Amino acid sequence: MNGAELLRDALLLHGVDVCFANPGTSEMHFVAALDAAPRMRCVLGLQENIVTGAADGFARMADRPAVTLLHLGPGLANGLANLHNARRARVPVINVVGDHASTHLAYDAPLTSDIESLARPMSQFVRRVSGAGDVRRAVAEVYRAAVSPPGVATLILPADSAWGEAEALSAPAAAATPVMRQADAGGVRRIAETLRDCRRSGQRPALMLSGSALRATATAIADRIAQAFDARLVTETLGGRMERGQGRVAVGKIPYAIFSALEFLKDIDVLVLVGATPPVGFFAYPGAPHRLTRGDCEHLVLCAPGEDAVGALGALAAELDVPAGVRPRLQAARGAGAPPGGTLTAEAVSQVVAQLLPQGAIICDEAVTAGGFLYLHTAASAAHDYLQNTGGAIGNGIPMAVGAAIACADRKVICVQADGSGMYTIQGLWTQARERLDVLTIVLANRAYAILQWEMRELGVRELGENARRMLNLDDPTLDFVLLAQGMGVEAARAKTVEDFLRLMRFALARRGPFLIEAVV
């Protein structure tokens, strides 16, 4: 057995059985090892940012890591943007990055680079394999680092460690089960006392939920606390995964626009952080504060990111002695307002999606400027999971949908994708076609980087000059997403009216497999 085969077996031992890959020469021994193991599902991405974005989407829905296979430092560098989003989503991802044989590094071959320095900013753990005999220990360490607490971990595999002789796994023990850290009992008691003080004094508290605190079980407990102590439930602008819709608790989202966000949080006196960090503006603006809460707002940590949010909320509810009769306020079904006919708009697209969304669907939202409409209108849709671009590095919608569809093959995935950011990783459509994934991609084709046009208006610029127009418009030439999709094996059609979009949406939902609608808005 060689080191690459041992790496394969060690990953499988830990339950890592999906590999998103874009390999190169240095990884051929590992490719050969994977070829001999049908238990490992290997999914090719045509660019590394698709590979890492798919691993992000998979981890969000599977609650366990996939492995990426990347070629040397440049291959890793191509995938860093979506590793940034995975890091911000706090999900487990294991990267295997091939490197030159250790004896070859001194010769500074063209693809030689400092892989550790490239990996470290997006990884909470980086480990280089020192030889074939080190592989098993290295895999155990990198797996543990990826899952406890969840995050990105990178394993660097030199080619000679892959081809070198290694001892096979013999009667291996079961892989260790990740242990989720528990919240501090003393902190729970202190927060409970603060909430009682708020009720006595009339101060307004809020629970800010993130990570596992946005699952249905956790939000139900949080809402019982909120009712008993007149608290608000809020979440960050871009969340990793939220279970929402009918039969689940609705959670208010902090707006993206800085002054809207300040207004949204202005009445909060005490902010209890449940798997969340204090909210800050996406960017600095002249005359605007960096923190979104008032300067005198008290921040209290119930549980840190990666800790057991359900357990922490349950402990807090017990400490507060929330009456059993206080039931969570679950979102009731309500008739989705039928969008007016005629010219298609981003809001009309969101209304149709909300109206037709199937039970158990997964929404991958990279709608960017239209994301507010989508979140608002799907609040009372059939129960679904909602995934967003947590780190703001654009180009994760299509790859995230790939990973989500592989993690949950029995659920419809609907990717609502802005046109400009969609072009960053458009090749992900090819992977959807090859893997026959049940993904509906809706491209909002407004022919512009509309979010940046909005930012220019916020700066007081009302008329764009020639240079700004050429940097922010996508209409010369016009992108044709129908032809792009068809060229990669995905059936596609264009909608210019509400009636067109309704018809195509119904058609796409009635079939399995990838389909793309270019919605001209």
pLDDT for 176 equals 60
Name the domain boundary from 104, 129, 163.
163
The reply to whether 381 and 433 lie within a common domain is yes
The reply to whether 241 and 276 lie within a common domain is yes
Q: Is 327 part of any domain?
A: no
The reply to whether 513 and 476 lie within a common domain is yes
The reply to whether 374 and 499 lie within a common domain is yes
Q: Is 402 part of any domain?
A: yes
Residue showing tokens 């409970």: 192
Q: How many domains does the chain have?
A: 3
Q: Is 179 part of any domain?
A: no
- To the question of pTM greater than 0.85 for the whole model, the response is yes
Q: Is 296 part of any domain?
A: yes
Distance between CA atoms of residues 238 and 253, nearest Å: 8
Domain, as residue range, for 64: 3-163
The reply to whether 26 and 137 lie within a common domain is yes
The reply to whether 119 and 204 lie within a common domain is no
Other residues' Cβ atoms within 10 Å of the Cβ of residue 106: 9
Q: Is 404 part of any domain?
A: yes
Q: Is 168 part of any domain?
A: no
Instruction: Please give the single-letter amino acid code of residue 432.
Output: Q
Q: What is the CATH number of the domain that holds 301?
A: 3.40.50
The reply to whether 190 and 52 lie within a common domain is no
DSSP state of 175: P
pLDDT for 336 equals 62
The reply to whether 270 and 359 lie within a common domain is no
What phi and psi values does residue 10 have, to the nearest 5 degrees? -70, -40
Q: Is 350 part of any domain?
A: yes
Q: Note every long-range contact of 137-146, with CB atoms under 8 Å and residues 24 or more positions apart, other chains counting.
A: 139/7, 139/10, 139/11, 139/14, 140/10, 140/14, 140/176, 142/94, 143/11, 143/14, 143/16, 143/65, 143/94, 143/175, 144/176, 144/178, 146/65, 146/92, 146/93, 146/94
The parts of the chain modelled with pLDDT lower than 50 are none
Name the domain boundary from 132, 163, 194.
163
The reply to whether 60 and 139 lie within a common domain is yes
Name the domain boundary from 99, 133, 163.
163
Q: Is 148 part of any domain?
A: yes
pLDDT for 5 equals 97
pLDDT for 216 equals 98
What phi and psi values does residue 439 have, to the nearest 5 degrees? -125, 130
pLDDT in tens, 59-74: 999 999 999 999 999 9
Distance between CA atoms of residues 97 and 72, nearest Å: 6
The reply to whether 309 and 446 lie within a common domain is no
The reply to whether 248 and 206 lie within a common domain is yes
The reply to whether 154 and 250 lie within a common domain is no
pLDDT in tens, 29-85: 999 999 998 999 999 999 999 999 999 999 999 999 999 999 999 999 999 999 999
Q: What is the CATH number of the domain that holds 383?
A: 3.40.50.970
CA atoms in the 13 A half-sphere facing the CB of 155? 33
Cα angle, residue 453 at apex, residues 451 and 458 outer, rounded to 5°: 95
